[in-house]
């Protein structure tokens, strides 16, 4: 029995060695292709390119009226709240002034007295009553001076009522009933919400490119970036020597909820290039101090140098390096390499 085991041992040992060798053998690794990178892309196309001057300004009303007191007295009437709609001629503030009322009554009495004397002189005049004679009698009887005094008194009394000069809304109320005011005291202000404009301060180089009538695009952040179209209304003929800037006013139609004082991001069109080959500004990168884009071809990003031209409103014109219809990458391309696999996920 023992001799039989000794004869089988070499065979068992060889079988074990072969089994161990087959377990240590590693399977062959499969090669894996790189996953395509997600990008967005747009197509080079022919379109009208607008060169613009970009700036930020403020919405303002083209018509405002600052209301001030013309006489001394106590305020007895004032608008109830800011934002109240008013019509032209409405009395917004009323000032009680016993002095103005007394002066008016005195002037009316003096006028009636002078008028009585004048009528008496007319009835008893011996001669022809020419226009010159009538003018002379008006002066000599004091009627002319009395009429002037009455007009002044009426104006002073009328100044107790401060009226709106146009249809608009109350934007400020500085005083309330019961407050004593004096000539020149600021009472409030009204604005016209229907006729609005944008006020910009541009540096002297930008100012030189602006002309009355140029188209302007106005984006209002407070209205969810709503964009309105206006036109340049006026360009300052002078430059502020301290700021080295001048005022440009853009005329703008009013829309609901657009308020004076709101921020306005503006683009004034200074030149127009029809049928330019354009791509989004975001597509153009700078590598080695040269402009370039990535073109999508066969699922891969191809590095392409380009010569750019005028730009504006988010677009840039391409003078060399692209053809109409080429698909260019607009995002996800800052770290791309030439021939990198990409997947457009617009």
1 within some domain = no
Same domain, 247 and 206: yes
Residue-level pLDDT at 291: 96
Which tops the pLDDT comparison, 278 or 105?
Answer: 278
222 within some domain: yes
What pLDDT score does 253 carry? 77
Is 0.75 topped by the overall pTM?
A: no
- For 182, the token pair is 């004096």
Domain CATH code at residue 78: 2.40.50.100
* 232 and 283 assigned to the same domain: no
Number of domains in the chain: 4
In the chain, pLDDT over 70 holds for what percent of residues? 88
Question: What does the pLDDT look like over 8-27, one tens digit per residue?
Answer: 444 444 444 444 444 444 44
340-344 vs 37-43, strand pairing mode? parallel
In this structure, are 220 and 296 located in the same domain?
no
Give the number of other Cβ atoms within 10 Å of residue 176's Cβ: 10
For residue 272, what is the enclosing H or E element? strand 263-280
Mark 203-221 as b/e (b = at least 16 C-beta within 10 Å): eeebbeebeeebbbbbebe
Question: CA geometry: angle at 158 spanning 154 and 162, to 5°?
Answer: 165
In a shared domain, residues 82 and 176: yes
- Quick one: pLDDT at residue 46? 96
Model confidence at 28: pLDDT above 60:
no
Would you state the structure tokens that stand for residue 105, as one six-digit string?
Answer: 């009554």
Q: For the domain that residue 297 is a member of, what is the CATH number?
A: 2.40.420.20
At 212, which CATH number?
2.40.30.170
Each residue's pLDDT tens digit, 199-209 = 999 999 999 99
91 domain-assigned: yes
What pLDDT does 2 receive? 42
Residues 22/26/27/33 CA torsion (nearest 10 deg) = 180
DSSP element (H, E) containing 234: strand 226-235
Domain identity same for 232 and 154: no
Q: How far is CA 268 from CA 47, 203, 227, 235, 337, in A?
A: 18, 14, 13, 12, 38
In a domain, 282, yes or no: yes
Overall average pLDDT of the 74-94 stretch: 91
- pLDDT tens, 237-292? 999 998 899 999 999 876 778 888 999 999 999 999 999 999 999 999 999 899 99
Residue 29: pLDDT band (50, 70, 90) is very low
124 lies in the same domain as 196: no
Between the two ends of the chain, the Cα-to-Cα distance in Å is 82
Determine the average pLDDT of the residues in 219-234. Answer: 93
290 part of a folded domain: yes
Give me the mean pLDDT over the 318-339 stretch: 94
220 shares its domain with 253? yes
More confident residue, 159 or 64: 64
Using CA atoms, how far apart are residues 62 and 172, in angstroms rounded to an integer? 16
- Give the per-residue pLDDT at 17: 41
pLDDT band at 71 (very low <50, low <70, confident <90, very high): confident
At 4 the pLDDT is 42
Q: 225: buried, middle or exposed (CB in 10 Å: 19+, 13-18, 0-12)? A: exposed
Q: Are both 216 and 323 inside the same structural domain?
A: no
Residues 237 and 185 in one domain: no
Q: What pLDDT is recorded for position 307?
A: 96
**Average predicted confidence (pLDDT) for the chain:** 86
- The reply to whether 201 and 264 lie within a common domain is yes
Under a CB-based contact definition with an 8 Å cutoff, are residues 71 and 184 in contact?
no
CA nearest to 195, candidates 238, 249, 148, 145: 249
Write down which residue in 273, 298, 317 finishes a domain. 273
Does some domain include residue 31? Answer: no
Per-residue exposure over 70-82, b if at least 16 CB sit within 10 Å of its own CB, e if not: bbebebeebbeee
Which residues, in sequence order, are bridge partners of residue 272? 50
Find the largest Cα–Cα distance for the chain.
182
Same domain, 105 and 79: no
Between 9 and 100, residue with greater pLDDT = 100
Model confidence over 165-201: pLDDT tens digits? Answer: 999 999 999 999 989 999 999 999 999 988 899 999 9
- Tokens, residue 290: 């040269």
Which of the listed residues 273, 308, 330 is the one where a domain comes to its end? Answer: 273
Look up the domain containing 203 and give its range. Answer: 54-62+192-273
Domain annotation covers residue 16: no
260 and 203 in one domain?
yes
Average pLDDT (65-91) is: 91
């Amino acid at each position: 029995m023992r001799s039989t085991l000794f004869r089988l041992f070499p065979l068992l040992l060889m079988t074990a060695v072969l089994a161990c060798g087959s377990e240590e053998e590693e399977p062959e690794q499969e090669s894996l292709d790189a996953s395509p990178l997600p990008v967005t892309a747009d197509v080079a196309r022919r379109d009208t390119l607008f060169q613009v001057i970009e700036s930020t300004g403020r919405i303002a009303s083209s018509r405002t009226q600052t209301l001030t007191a013309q006489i001394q007295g106590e305020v007895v009437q004032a608008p109830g709240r800011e934002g109240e709609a008013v019509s032209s001629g409405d009395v917004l503030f009323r000032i009680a002034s016993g002095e103005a009322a007394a002066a008016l009554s005195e002037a009316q009495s003096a006028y009636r007295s002078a008028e009585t004397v004048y009528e008496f002189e007319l009835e008893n005049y011996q001669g022809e009553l020419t226009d010159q004679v009538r003018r002379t009698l008006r002066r000599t009887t004091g009627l002319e001076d009395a009429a002037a005094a009455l007009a002044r008194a009426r104006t002073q009394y009328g100044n107790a009522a401060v009226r709106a000069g146009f249809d608009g809304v109350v934007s400020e109320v500085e005083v309330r009933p019961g407050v004593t005011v004096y000539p020149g005291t600021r009472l409030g202000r009204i604005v016209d919400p229907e006729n609005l404009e944008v006020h910009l301060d541009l540096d002297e180089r930008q100012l030189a490119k602006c002309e009355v009538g140029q188209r302007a695009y106005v984006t209002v952040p407070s209205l969810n970036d709503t964009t309105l179209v206006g036109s340049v209304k006026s360009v300052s003929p002078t430059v502020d020597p301290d700021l080295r800037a001048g005022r440009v006013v853009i005329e703008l139609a009013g829309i609901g909820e657009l308020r004076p004082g709101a921020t306005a991001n503006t683009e004034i069109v200074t030149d127009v290039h029809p049928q330019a080959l354009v791509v989004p500004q975001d597509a153009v990168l700078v590598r080695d101090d040269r402009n370039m884009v990535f073109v999508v071809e066969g699922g891969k990003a191809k590095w392409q140098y380009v010569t750019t031209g005028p730009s504006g409103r988010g677009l840039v014109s391409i003078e060399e390096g692209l053809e109409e219809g080429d698909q260019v990458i607009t995002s996800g391309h800052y770290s791309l390499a030439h021939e990198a696999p990409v997947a457009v996920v617009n």
